[in-house]
Amino acid sequence: MPTRDIIVVGASAGGVGALQRLCAGLPEDLPAAIFVVQHLSPSARSVLPHLLDKMGPLRALSPVDGQEIERGRIYVAAPDQHLLLRPGRILMRRGPHENRTRPAINALFRSAAIHYGSRTIGAVLTGLLDDGTDGLLAIKATGGVSIVQDPADAEWPSMPRNALKRDHVDHVVPLDQLPALLMQLVHEEVAASIPIPREYLIEDRIAAQEFAVAEPEIVAPGDPSHLSCPDCGGVLNCIVSDGEVRFRCQVGHAFTPLGLAAAQCDELERALSVAVRTHRDRLKLFEQMLENAVARGMTHAARRWSEASEESGRLISALEDAMISLRKSFGEGEA
């Protein structure tokens, strides 16, 4: 009987320290391969493999496309590339962003569920929003095991907390107990994998860029919604799987509901910032024209520029208040 020999781990804010603690507790004889996605800046050079390599006996590295999988290794996603799994090997691909991130946790978890099924263990650690939740659902759908760091133990509890809102988590543990739990799980024999819904298969191929435009069956799954993609402006399809909702456009950009709300919040804040800057420029213009009109004794023109200055000031205050309210309202919903 096969055992659970594929461990996928996702983290975001606070993840570097959490991953270091996890790796420090792993034993040298772990009979599994570990794959890590930590949300990274796309333009920065990542030193995470080096940091994790120093923490414990297992070698950590950033894999190359097509690299063969070896047990007892920690494979860390590189910046701006999805880390995906195939039978016996690794893919590193620049597929569409998911929740405006690449690498994305859901993309890794989904690929592990598809190609390794019940042999997969998925773990969501500290972070913001809900990347990893849909990936855990995919792992559970094929018979794998799902783990979430105890939110009370996480530096940023939103990601594990949002995963716990779904009825699919097998284990909730503090980070210091995770190595022992993994050692227990990797020695358990597993049953045959459960077939995964077709939507996950299509999304995995989209992330891996394993399709041609001419293939008519490879289209974004789901049904068109009335929402537009924040990344490209295209129509978002709404995908419902096991009662869970997510969104993907024809280009391939993918969003969870919280991820889409965060992207919309970013767009609104950007638009409000532009409006504030424009009104500040108008205010400077109006004040300059007012000063000029007063100096020339033009009473009617001075009154007009004065009224315009006051109106711009009111609009700036209203826009700044709207930006503050936007941050507060989404911050409460996100947590």
Q: Which residues carry out catalysis? A: 12, 39, 131
The single-letter code of the amino acid at 176 is D
- HSE of 168, CA atoms in CB hemisphere, 13 A: 26
Dist. CA 299–CA 56, nearest whole Å: 78
Q: At what angle do helices 105-116 and 133-141 cross, to 10 degrees?
A: 10
Alpha helices in 56-197 (DSSP H): 105-116, 133-141, 158-164, 178-186
For residues 276, 277, 281 and 282, what is the CA-based torsion angle, rounded to 10 degrees? Answer: -30
Dist. CA 170–CA 4, nearest whole Å: 14
Mode of pairing for the β-strands spanning 244-249 and 254-255:
antiparallel
Dist. CA 82–CA 171, nearest whole Å: 26
Dist. CA 10–CA 112, nearest whole Å: 13
